[in-house]
Structure 1
Amino acid sequence: MELANIEKLLEKYLNAETSIAEETALKTYFLSDNVAPHLEEYQALFGYFSTSKNERFTKTIQLNSKKKNWKWLSVAASVILLVSVYSGYENIQQRKADKVYAETIGAFQMLSTNLNKGNVAITQLQRFGNTTNKIFKQPK
């Protein structure tokens, strides 16, 4: 190939404007033995591309498979469930105790009201008895 054409193709290559056919032409030129002395620095670049294409990585890759320890998560969930059930049971027992207490207070209030009515009736009976004793003059 003519040297001016190679320099133009190299300039296009460095600006990333070449086609595949032009890159192939550059590759064959730089892999040949008759490269212009001022372009020999690019010979290593194209030589590297041709040799690296054939390289293969043959070692096995060990992937660290970190398994999550779900056992501790299930234990923690079980403990949380037990605590919530226990506290829920305590809340239910407290509500039942409050309800029984309120019913007892209501019953005592009803009993107190009825006893007060009885006291008023007894007071009226005592007045009646005193009045009757005065009228019939019976000694106490």
Structure 2
Amino acid sequence: MVLNNIEELLEKYENGETTLQEEAQLKAYFSQEHIAPHLELYRPLFAYFKANKTETYTKEIPLKSKKTPIYSWLSVAAIAILMLGFYFNSTQIITSNEDDLGTIQDPELAYNEVVKSLELISKSLNKGASTVSYLKSYNKGIATVGYIAELEQSSNIIFKNTK
């Protein structure tokens, strides 16, 4: 009866369904001298767990940082320089654009500029749309794969019913 119980516990252990008490029973069984011959291959697994409990880490863990303080100050200085650069660059843009608002007084000239801009945008969009046209054939291929999956599912149903 004990052997049947151990075999059931091993099956539960392999499926990950054992409790801590059941695992303790398995460890106790495999730490004995006499084990069933067909269960002998499990002995090293449970012997490892027993040996692993006695292992300790003996090296010293350094708690001080080996990083010198100059590197932290360098990063602070780099951030300060970047922030100053962004600040002066943004103030220069604001002062140079205060007088020129980008308006065109002649309506015909403004219309021509808008048409040029829209044509440029249209060319870019058409260029992008032409490079994506291959997706239509990709979608067609995906639909074909879906049909194959349906065919496989129906053939599985047929073959399962004949067995």
CA–CA distance in structure 1, aligned partners of residues 66 and 15 of structure 2: 42
CA–CA distance in structure 1, aligned partners of residues 17 and 34 of structure 2: 25
* Matched AA of 1:76: L
Question: How much is the aligned-residue C-alpha RMSD, in angstroms?
Answer: 3.3
Which deviates more from structure 2 when the two are superposed, residues 57-66 or residues 39-48? 57-66
What stretches of structure 2 of length at least 5 have no aligned partner? 101-163
Q: CA deviation at 1:90?
A: 5.7
Q: 2:84 aligns with which of 55, 58, 78?
A: 78
Counterpart in the other structure of 1:31: 31
Structure 2 matches for 1:3-18, cutoff 5 A?
Answer: 3-18=3-18
Q: CA deviation at 1:78?
A: 1.5
Residue aligned with 1:32, SS: coil
Q: Measured at CA, do residues 76 and 2 of structure 1 come closer, stay the same or move farther in structure 2, by a change above 3 Å?
A: closer
Q: Measured at CA, do residues 33 and 61 of structure 1 come closer, stay the same or move farther in structure 2, by a change above 3 Å?
A: farther
Residue aligned with 2:54, SS: coil
Q: Measured at CA, do residues 20 and 91 of structure 1 come closer, stay the same or move farther in structure 2, by a change above 3 Å?
A: closer
Aligned residues: 94
What are the Cα deviations for residues 81-112 of structure 1, in whole angstroms up to 9, with x where unaligned? Answer: 234445555667x69xxxxxxxxxxxxxxxxx
CA–CA distance in structure 2, aligned partners of residues 42 and 64 of structure 1: 46
What stretches of structure 1 of length at least 5 have no aligned partner? 96-140
Identity of aligned residues (%): 37
How high is the TM-score relative to the length of structure 1? 0.51
Counterpart in the other structure of 1:54: 54
* Matched AA of 2:82: A
CA–CA distance in structure 1, aligned partners of residues 14 and 2 of structure 2: 19
How high is the TM-score relative to the length of structure 2? 0.45
Residue aligned with 1:69, SS: helix
Q: Measured at CA, do residues 80 and 37 of structure 1 come closer, stay the same or move farther in structure 2, by a change above 3 Å?
A: same
Work out which of the two has the higher radius of gyration on C-alpha atoms and give 1 or 2: 1
1:45 aligned to 2:45?
Answer: yes
Which deviates more from structure 2 when the two are superposed, residues 75-84 or residues 4-13? 75-84
Q: Measured at CA, do residues 91 and 6 of structure 1 come closer, stay the same or move farther in structure 2, by a change above 3 Å?
A: closer
CA–CA distance in structure 1, aligned partners of residues 4 and 58 of structure 2: 42
